[in-house]
Chain A
Amino acid sequence: MSPRIANLLRYGLPVVIGIILYFCAGVLELSTVNDLTGLFLLMTLAMAWNLVGGFGGQFSLGHSIFVGVGSYATAVILTTLGWPLLPAMLAAAVMSAFIGVLLAYPLLRLRGPYLAVGSLGIALAAYGWMINWNFTKASQAYAMPPSGQVSLPEVFQYSTVLLVVTVIAIVALVRSPLGLRLVALRDNELGAASVGVKRVRTLLPIWGLSGLLTGAMGAVYAVQVGSLSVDASFAIQWSLDAAIICVIGGLGTLSGPFVGAIIIYYLRKYAADFSNWALLIEAVVLVVVVRFFPAGIVGLVTSTYKKFTGNRAVSKK
C-alpha cells in the first residue's frame, strides 16, 4: 500500500477509534467503562515505559516516580492552587516530564543492570522520602478534592484521549529521525556514535517524553482512584508491571504493550478469587516467554505469520 495510505491508517485509525469510544462513553455499560479505563491506563503506562525500556534499551525500574508525581501533583495543585482539573493534570504531567529529564542526567551515566539498580534506588529513596513528607500528608490518605471528582464515563474519556495521544506520539517518534537515532543507539552504540549519534542528546528528550506520558497516566489514575496514598502511588509495582507487560507482549514493538496489557489486565481480573495462583501463573508465563519467546508474543505472532506467508520481499510502492 502507498506510504500515504499507510500513514493515514497509522495516525487516523487510533484517532477514529478514540473518537468513537469518547462519544460512546455515556452509552456503554459502567462495568465496561471501568474495565476499559483500567486497561487503557495500563496500556499507556506500558507504552510510555517501552519508549525507554524497549526502544531505548534502558531497563528502568524507576518509573513509579512518574506515576507518583503525576498523581500527587494533580491532587496537590487541585487542593492548594484551586486550578480546574484539566490544567492541573497537564501541569502534573509537565512536572513529571521535568523530573524525567532531571533523572536522566545521572542515570545516563549507567548502563544495563547498573541503570536498573540505580533507577530502582532512586525510586525507593523517593518512596522513603514521600512517606515522611508532611506536605503530602506522609502516610495518610490524600483525598482528591471535589474539583477532581468526576464520573466514571468522564474518567474513561480522559484515559481514552491519553491513550490515543500516547499512541500517536510514539508512532510519530519511532518514525522520526530522533526515533531512528534511538534505536540505532540501542542496537549498536559504537556504530551509532561513529555516524554522529550523541547519546545524551538522544536519550534526554526520550526520558522527558516518557516521564510526561507516565505522569499524565498518574494524573488520570488519581482521578480514577479518588484517594491517594504513597503506598499505592509510588509503589515499585508500577515499574514492574510496565516491564512485565512489555516483555510478555514484545519489547520495543508498537503493539507489544497492547497485547501484554490485555493479557495481564484480564488475567488479574478473572483470577481475583485465587490471586496467588494468578500471580504464580503470571510469573511462570513471564519466565517461559523470556526463555523461549524472547521477542514476546508479538514477536511470536510476527514470525509465525512470516513463516506462513513465505518470503514476501519488498512491497510495491
Chain B
Amino acid sequence: MLAAVAIAAVAGLALAGCSASGGAGSDIVIGTSVPLTGPLGTMGTPVSMGYQAYVDEINKAGGIEFGGAKHKIKLVIQDNASDPAKAAAQAKSLVLDSKAVALLGPVTPPLSIPEATVADQLKIPFLTSITPIRAFGGANANWNYAYDVFFDELQMTQTQFQASDLISTNKKVALFTDTEEDGVVMGKLWEANAPKFGYKIVSRQVFPVDQGNFSSQVAAVKASGADVVIAQVIPPEAIGILKEMKAQGYDPKAMFMEKGGNTGNFVKITGGLGLGVMAANWFADGMGLAREKEFINAYASKIGGVNSDLGILVCGYSIANVLADAIKAAGGTDATKLAAAIGKTNGDYAIGHIQFTEGHSAPLKVIQTQWDSNNNQVMVLNLEGKAGAPIVTPEAGLK
C-alpha cells in the first residue's frame, strides 16, 4: 500500500519536473565544480579564486562584448569536496539545471576527467587546468568539447634532472610514487628520462595513497645512497616521508616533491622539514611572464607567498580569460562554435603562451622552484633550463 503511494509520489515528481535554478537574462552563465574542501581543497580554492578574479575584472569593464552588446558573466561555483562522483553530478547539474553554457574545470585528473566526460556527453565546452596533459589525453584520445591547459609530464619529468645538474651529486636517484594516476604516469617517465640525462635510478618505491608509515622504504632509499630523491605524493604522504627521513638521518642533496610539495604553507605544515624541498612550478618571481609583478603584488600577500597556490590562481585566471576571448571570437555562446573558437586559441596569457594541439591540450612549460622560509617557492631552474637562484643543498629542513 505504502509502496504504491511512494511510486505514485515519484511519478508525480517526474511529471511535475524539477525546479531549476537557471540563469537569467543576457548574462552568460559559466559553471565550475571545484574541490573547495576535501584533500584537494588546498588546490581547488586558489583556482576558483582565479576564476572569480577574472570574472570580476571583466564584469567591471561591462562584460564580454559581442553582437553589439556587452554581456556580463555569472560564475556559478559548486564544491565537489574532492569526490569524483560528485564532480560529475555537479557538472551535469550546472549545465542542465543552472543552464551553464560552458564549464571551467577542477584540479587533478581524478576530478577533471569525469567532468570533461560529462561535458563531451552534453556537448558543452569545458576548459580546465591543473591537470597534466598526458593524463588528460590518456583518458580519451578524442576529446570534442573538453580542453586542458597545463604542463606536459614529459617536459616536467626532465626538470628534476636538469636542476640536479646544477649541483654536484652522485647521479643516483631514488623514486617515490603513489599508486594514483599521476604517480604511475610520472613514475614511468622518470624511469625513462633518467638515463637520458645520465642518472641512474637506484631505488624505486611504490605505495598506496594513504600510506602512513615509510620506515622500511626510507631505509631502503637511504641504503641505496641516492643523492637525489624524487617523489610524487600528496601532502600527508609528503609529511610522512619527510618525518621518516629526518628520523633516519637521511638528508639528500636534492629533494623533489611533486604535487604534495606544491601546497601553500608547505614548510609550516611539515614543521620546517619541508624547507628546501623542490617542486616543478608554472609561476614564480623572475620567470619572465608578462604580468608577473602585477599578480604578485595583487595576490601574494592574500595567498601567503609567491608559491604554487598563486600559480594555480594565475592558471585559473588565464583559462577564464581564454574562455572569454573564445566567446568573443565565436560571437556568442553556441556550443559548437565556442568549442571551435577555444581550439583556435593562440595567444599570450597571464600564465604564458596558450595554443592547443590536436589532443585538445595546451602545454605550459614548467620550471623548478625551491621552498624558502618565507612561504615562497624560489625559481632555481628557469624556462630555458638554465640556473635561476642558487639551489640550497643539501635539503635544509632535514639537516
Chain A interface (Cβ < 8 Å from any Cβ of B): 9-10, 13-14, 17, 20-21, 24, 28-32, 34-36, 38-39, 128, 131-132, 138-141, 143, 149, 152, 167, 171, 225-227, 229, 231-232, 235, 237, 253-255, 258-259, 262, 268-269, 272-276, 279, 298, 301-302
Contacts and interface: CB of A to CB of B under 8 A. Distances in A.
A166 to B, nearest CB: 12
Given A34-B92, A140-B181, A231-B110, A29 B2 contact: no
A10 B2 CA distance: 10
A255 B181 contact: no
A61 to B, nearest CB: 18
B97 interface: yes
Nearest to B116: A227
Given A13-B7, A21-B14, A171-B3, 16 more contacts: A13-B4, A21-B11, A29-B17, A132-B179, A139-B184, A140-B135, A140-B139, A167-B7, A227-B117, A227-B140, A255-B2, A262-B9, A262-B10, A262-B13, A273-B79, A274-B79
11 contacts: A10-B4, A34-B93, A139-B181, A140-B138, A140-B139, A229-B110, A258-B6, A258-B9, A272-B79, A276-B37, A276-B79
Given A28-B14, A272-B93, A232 B114 contact: yes
Nearest to A17: B11
Given A140-B181, A227-B113, A232 B96 contact: no
A70 to B, nearest CB: 15
Contacts, number: 140
B81 A227 contact: no
Contacts of A131: 179-180, 208
B359 to A, nearest CB: 14
Contacts of A30: 96
A31 B93 CA distance: 7
B6 A152 contact: no
Interface of B: 2-11, 13-14, 17-18, 20, 37, 77-81, 83-86, 88-90, 92-93, 96-97, 109-110, 113-114, 116-118, 120-122, 135, 138-140, 179-181, 183-185, 208
Contacts of A29: 17, 20, 96
Contact of A254 (B3, B13, B97, B120): B3
Contacts of A253: 2
The residue in B7, B83, B84 that gathers the most chain A C-beta atoms within 10 A of its C-beta is B7
A310 to B, nearest CB: 17
